[in-house]
A and B are shown apart, each in its own frame.
Chain A
Amino acid sequence: MIGFIKKDLAMIKSNFKLLGFLVIIYIVMILLGYMDISFILPFMSVMIIISTFSYDNYNKWDAYSISLPNGRKNNVKSKYITTILMLLLVSIIIVILSFIISYINTQTINYEQTLISTLGTIFGTLLVLTFMYPIIYKFGVEKARILIFIIVFGLAIIIGLISKYIDLSNILKSLSFLENYLVIILIITSIIMVYISYKISEKIFMNKEF
């Protein structure tokens, strides 16, 4: 499996320059007092990872990988592990940058707030990815893009309609006692989400034909 991860990392490597460029823009924006754009790093990491699916697809790597030892299992496993590694890297970058910026700006940093906002961003990114991966494995990256757009659009309409007839703020208020456990809830939910998504993707890919 390590070999497969190395291959995915090698693909991502070519986009590291872009990530570095974004980090600089991020620092400049914060220093100049513009809005916090920390979401852009996880967002870009998603784009970079999705682009590896496109290249895999274009060069028919998935079919080739099956003919390698334990190819079907390792293909899927490595994609999930690479994603987690990438998001970990981005989280570390965000946390380090927050410290550096607060040092330069001589502000006292709210450690808890930084941790929660980073976790929240990573959680959101993971939510999108765990949702996307099984669809990509089933339909291929091109069709998946359209499908995901339709699903997200559909969900937005449904939530919009629900909130029109039901007062969601009451539900949210009743859930406010969970706030104290937010970090643990986010971590546990992420692990469960990734596990379920991985199992679905694996099942799809184990039976996929090319």
Chain B
Amino acid sequence: MDNILEIKNLCKKYDNFELKNISFKLPKGMIMGLIGENGAGKTTTIKAILNIITSYSGDIKIFGLSNKNETIKEDIGIVLDDMFFPEIITPKDINNSMKNIYKNWDSKIFNDYLKKFSLPNKQIKTFSKGMRKKLEIATSLSHHPKLLILDEPTSGLDPIARDEVTNILQKFIENENCSILLSSHNTTDLEHIADYITFINNGEVILSKTTNELLDKYGIVKCTEKEFKDINTKDYIKYKKTKYGYEILVENKKDFKEKYNIKIIDKVTLDELMILMIKGVK
């Protein structure tokens, strides 16, 4: 088993939204970033992986087993967007409950995280959004999971806390048998920590590649209208008209450079890639 998570042809239909043939693989020891607009289908995909939605078609395997198998959940740590323990209980109550929910729950690790994040033993409802997120992250990490599935784990966190979380995730991945699936709008963080990027748009995977390939090979060409007119449509993915000319997303900036005499070809950021893929024109 080289892949910790494998999704094949995942489809799910709602009245006004549809997941269409979502497929990707997450190898051992890797971090995959899920990116896309709000409502693109990232959370629905995560819900299908965790069986929170059940009436879908397709095949989902975790640790080589069907995701319907309850035993696999012992090895998964989760942070879900806005879903957690009821707010009238305290971190101590969570520790007491989780001791009997996960076989491998480690109270020491949990309490260490509480200290590290300076979380008091008070009702969750007294916590700020950032504190709640930290508590969710601490909870997800305290039963020695092998796979972390994190939906927006850094939303609501200040840059310092985000950096702290990023470091924790990088440390987690030092164990080569562990992997992380992480959906986030903080694309700068993903550029630093994700090994793979899977881009979901309108319920479809429109791109799933290694982060290095994306950031090194893809490029943004900045040119004038005259230069743009000379470019063959086959040689670019999408373009956008700007105040000063044209911005064109190309799949291989080296090849493009060899073919056309255009000087400004920048490295692409995930933000720019998302904007051009979604809002750009072909």
Interface residues of A (CB under 8 A from B): 1-4, 6-7, 10-11, 14, 52, 55-56, 58-61, 63-64, 66-71, 74, 207, 209-210
Contact = CB atoms under 8 A, between A and B. Distances in A.
Interface residues on B, range: 35 or more
B9 interface: no
Interface in B202-250: none
A207 B70 CA distance: 15
Nearest to A67: B50
Per DSSP, are chain A's interface residues mostly helix, strand or loop, or mixed? helix
Contacts of B74: 69
A17 to B, nearest CB: 13
Closest 6 CB pairs of A and B: A3-B100, A3-B101, A10-B93, A55-B86, A60-B83, A2-B100
Contacts of B99: 3
Interface in B79-121: 80, 82-90, 93-94, 96-103
Interface string B137-149: 0000000000001
Contacts of B98: 3
B52 A67 contact: yes
Contact of B84 (A11, A64, A74): A64
Nearest to A71: B73
Contact of B71 (A1, A63, A66, A69): A69
A183 to B, nearest CB: 35
B32 interface: no
A58 B78 CA distance: 19
Nearest to A207: B54
A209 B52 CA distance: 6
A55 B125 CA distance: 11
B97 A7 contact: yes
